[in-house]
Amino acid sequence: MAERIQELEAHSQALEASNHELDAQNRQLLSQLDEASRQRDSIAASLKAESDRVQRLESLAAHHVSRATGLERDLGVARSDLAKVVDAITHALGAPQHG
């Protein structure tokens, strides 16, 4: 009977040591998980900031394209008006019209 008690005590001590080891491993894994979560959150924040920046740049580019289109249209109108002025001056001076 004493031998059985010693076996059970030894087994109990082995289980306790194993539990301590598992607890230590669990704490280490939780620490690694926390670090991975922080890194994930940091990456997500960086991606969000980059996405916002890209959206602002796309909006700015669309504005510049719209402005350039308007300027091209205005330039076309100005060229047409200038051609009319040249024709009017040429006609007023009696030279043949261009046209």
Confidence of residue 99 (pLDDT cuts 50, 70, 90): low
pLDDT for the residue 94: 86
pLDDT tens digits for 23-72? 999 999 999 999 999 999 999 999 999 999 999 999 999 999 999 999 99
Q: Report the half-sphere exposure of 5 (CA within 13 A, side-chain side).
A: 2
Q: Give pLDDT tens digits for 73-91.
A: 999 999 999 999 999 999 9
> What phi-psi label fits residue 29: left (phi over 0), alpha (psi between -120 and 50 degrees) or beta?
alpha
pLDDT at 17 over 70: yes
- For residue 22 the two structure tokens come to 């598992």
